Chains A and B, each alone.
Chain A
């Protein structure tokens, strides 16, 4: 289960003039965007830039108010990890077998697959522990293990380390790279530049509900194309 044979054939996702407004207030101005290949895309920008909104639109949790979002080809398997992990009120193991049951895994395989995933994320000893009494870091790892079990071709992560301590952040980042090695496209929001340098091979910068730029990470961190990108890299608040 360490290799997805679909590498490179994950359908690109395109946004065509996609916008979101709420009660007449524009939250996201019409934007065009294309996510393709098996990249590690970090969506960056200050609070309120529209990062989470973009992720939810891409994952299909939210319908756009205008424009069109479509997969060029078959819709890939997807999973999402939230800033505050949403875990069911049952054991760590049961949280995983639940996800397997939902995606139609035969009952007799669930337990073994779930245990394997717990082991992979260093949670095997906590299998019988109620999920909601685990520490923040353990909960986020459990959410990642749940996503892992779903063998996603695309993984969305919404500020997955925002509430964690350094050790837990390291574990999450290692897991993200793990997913990518297995052939999963990563789309992750973050406001942490250092994290982006460690993880990104592509950067999308949003500000005030507008797309500022989409660049290769190497390009972005060396020489942003936009003034706002340069200011963002210098750590200035120009917004």
Chain B
């Protein structure tokens, strides 16, 4: 019997309403890993993108092209690279990070850092076009402009960070490879979906997918609402 989408919805509903502890643990880990990755990628990517927007240096065009290209990096390639780095036989093997949530965070950072840095560069460059003369008139050096520009671009950057979060939480290839999909340790929503699909439990897999979709939608909706309200208030 092909599972109908009805049974998937019912399965999803049951998963949520029963507050299944295994599911809750998987959801919690998914959120923790992706939020940690977004946090790290934002801490690095926002200043990096802003610096790229403000400075002209030889090779800048190349850096931007590479960043833009890395936005489309296949997750499984990122996963393989991180796997080879973190493997005991790899250069960073001594830290014992492979098959831990930490490895999954690293893989997701590798995936979303280019997105956050590249999109931040675009937005900051645009805003700086508007602000440059005024900030120069105030006597602000380029490094000191970065916090001002990041703060004033905050609503646009919120969208950038959400794009990073979306990619991080939807990703499966990289976290499967470096996390190992270990039950109770590194199993997240997406890898659980792959496993259940492998077992032929298509309704359960689709149900998990619906739960993931609802979660990501809720987070995006909340951020969107927050951003829109503030944007309307601040002009």
Asked if A89 meets B234 with Cβ closer than 8 Å, knowing A61-B136, A61-B137, A103-B139, the reply is: yes
Q: Are A79 and B137 in contact (CB under 8 A)?
A: yes
Provide the residues of chain A in CB contact with B131, threshold 8 Å. Answer: 86, 88
Residue B233 interfacial (CB < 8 Å): yes
Contact B235–A133 (Cβ < 8 Å)? yes
Residues of A within 8 A of B130 (CB): 86
Q: Does B140 contact A (CB under 8 A)?
A: yes
Closest to B149 in A: A88
- Nearest to B155 among chain A residues (CB) is A89
CB distance from B228 to the nearest CB of A (A): 14
B134 touches A89 (CB 8 A): no
What is the total number of residues of chain A having a CB less than 8 Å from a CB of chain B?
A: 21
- Asked whether A99 lies within 8 Å of B138 as measured between CB atoms, the reply is yes
Chain B positions 131 through 149: 1 when the CB is less than 8 Å from some CB of chain A, otherwise 0: 1011011111000100010
Closest to B137 in A: A80
Binary CB contact string for chain B from 112 to 140 against chain A (1 if under 8 A, 0 otherwise): 00000000000000000011011011111
Contact yes or no, B133 A61, CB < 8 A: yes
- Out of A59, A130, A131, A133, name the residue touching B137 (CB < 8 Å): A59
Residue from the list A79, A99, A132, A150 in contact with B235, Cβ < 8 A: A132
- Interface check B20, CB cutoff 8 A: no
Kindly report which residue of chain B lies nearest to residue A77, judged by CB atoms: B139
Determine whether the beta carbon of A103 is less than 8 Å from that of B234: no
Docked complex: B208-235 residues within 8 A CB-CB of A: 233-235
Cβ contact of B152, chosen from A79, A88, A102, A133, cutoff 8 A: A88
B133 CB → nearest A CB, Å: 6
Chain B binding surface SS class = helix
Number of interface residues of B (CB under 8 A): 17
- Does A71 reach chain B (CB closer than 8 Å)? no
A221 contacts partner chain B, Cβ-Cβ < 8 Å = no
CB distance from B76 to the nearest CB of A (A): 40
Q: Does A90 sit at the interface, judged by CB under 8 A?
A: yes
Q: Does A121 contact B (CB under 8 A)?
A: no
Nearest A residue (CB) for B133: A61
Min C-beta distance of B109 to chain A, whole Å:
29
Q: How far is the CB of A151 from chain B (nearest CB, A)?
A: 13
**B17 CB to nearest A CB, Å:** 43
User: Contacts of A130 on B, CB cut-off 8 Å?
Assistant: 233-235
Minimal Cβ-Cβ distance residue in B for A91: B234
A82 within 8 A of B: yes
How far, in angstroms, from A79 to B138 measured CA to CA in the complex?
Answer: 7
Query: When each residue 21-35 of chain B gets 1 if its CB lies under 8 Å from chain A and 0 otherwise, what string results?
Result: 000000000000000
In the complex, 19 of the A-B residue pairs with CB atoms within 8 angstroms, ordered by the A residue number, are A56-B133, A59-B137, A61-B137, A78-B137, A80-B133, A80-B134, A82-B133, A82-B134, A86-B131, A88-B131, A88-B148, A88-B152, A90-B151, A99-B138, A103-B138, A103-B139, A130-B234, A133-B234, A150-B138
| A residues neighboring B (CB under 8 Å) | 56, 59-61, 78-80, 82, 86, 88-90, 98-99, 102-103, 130-133, 150
Seen from chain B, the residues whose Cβ lies within 8 Å of a Cβ on chain A are 130-131, 133-134, 136-140, 144, 148, 151-152, 154, 233-235
